């Protein structure tokens, strides 16, 4: 399914992902995230047991004025990330943000027919969502990034030393700061909620 841009941005705002996790941005692609039994659908709630293996990522074109008119090229590298801003809980996010996944591809592949599968190389291995007991629902947010300067050269990305705070000593430090440090801009997003059965 291709997300309509107002629906995506509304969902991100209502979930307070904008502006808490990322600044407002104009999406250029729709990001589909599929596990064996489930898919991300802009804030649906999924069982952690269904999220054990890294999902398959699909990117689809949407009509957008993103990138100030620049054309997305298949030769551009892109980055997929997964972050949890609610670690260990939304009421007490002292470990926020928690980096669950960083993966990159050297070729931006997309298909209006939604048939493309993407071959990603892990920078930080996928750590499946595992919200602790009695911490309520966590937001697990996926983003697609590309280089802000539009380069088609290989990206040299920093690897966070720790997952908590994306390797920073500062609470709340996360994907926005990491992306800025690496010269990246967001072009797509999706998210889910997940919670422990013990509440």
- Say whether the peptide bond before residue 8 is cis (omega within 30 degrees of 0): no
Residue-range domains of the chain with CATH = 5-194 (3.90.280.10)
State the first-to-last Cα distance of the chain, in angstroms, to the nearest integer: 33
Residue 125: helix, strand or coil by DSSP? Answer: coil
Kind of pairing, strands 98-105 and 121-124?
Answer: antiparallel
The predicted pLDDT at position 83 comes to: 99
How confident is the model at residue 118, as a pLDDT? 54
Place of tokens 């047991």: 49
Specify the pLDDT at position 168. 93
Instruction: Give the whole-angstrom CA distance, residue 172 versus residue 94.
Output: 7
Instruction: Walk along the chain (199 residues) in steps of 10 and give the mean pLDDT of each run.
Output: 72 98 93 96 98 94 55 86 97 96 87 55 97 97 96 93 94 94 96 96
Please tell me the predicted confidence (pLDDT) of residue 110: 65
pLDDT of residue 19: 97
Task: Please state, in angstroms and rounded to a whole number, the distance separating the CA atoms of residues 30 and 62.
Answer: 7
pLDDT number for residue 66? 52
Residue 166 CA to residue 123 CA, distance in Å, equals 13
Per-residue pLDDT at 107? 83
Question: Would you state the pLDDT for residue 166?
Answer: 97
pTM across the whole model? 0.91
């Amino acid at each position: 399914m291709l997300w309509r841009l107002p629906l995506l941005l509304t969902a991100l705002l209502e979930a307070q992902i904008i502006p808490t996790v990322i600044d407002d941005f104009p999406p250029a692609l729709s990001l589909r995230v599929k596990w064996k039994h489930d898919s991300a659908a802009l804030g649906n709630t999924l069982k952690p047991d269904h999220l054990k293996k890294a999902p398959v990522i699909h990117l689809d074109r949407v009509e957008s004025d993103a990138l100030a008119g620049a054309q997305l090229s298949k030769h551009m590298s892109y980055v997929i990330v997964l972050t949890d801003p609610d670690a260990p809980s939304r009421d007490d996010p002292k470990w926020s943000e928690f980096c669950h996944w960083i993966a990159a591809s050297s070729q931006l592949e997309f298909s209006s027919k939604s048939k493309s599968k993407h071959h990603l190389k892990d920078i930080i291995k996928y750590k499946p969502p595992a919200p602790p007991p009695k911490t309520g629902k966590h937001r697990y947010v996926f983003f697609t990034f590309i280089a802000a300067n539009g380069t088609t050269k290989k990206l040299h990305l920093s690897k966070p030393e720790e997952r908590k705070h994306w390797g920073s000593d500062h609470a709340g430090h996360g994907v926005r700061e990491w992306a800025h440090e690496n010269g990246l801009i967001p072009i797509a997003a999706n998210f889910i909620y997940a919670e422990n059965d013990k509440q």
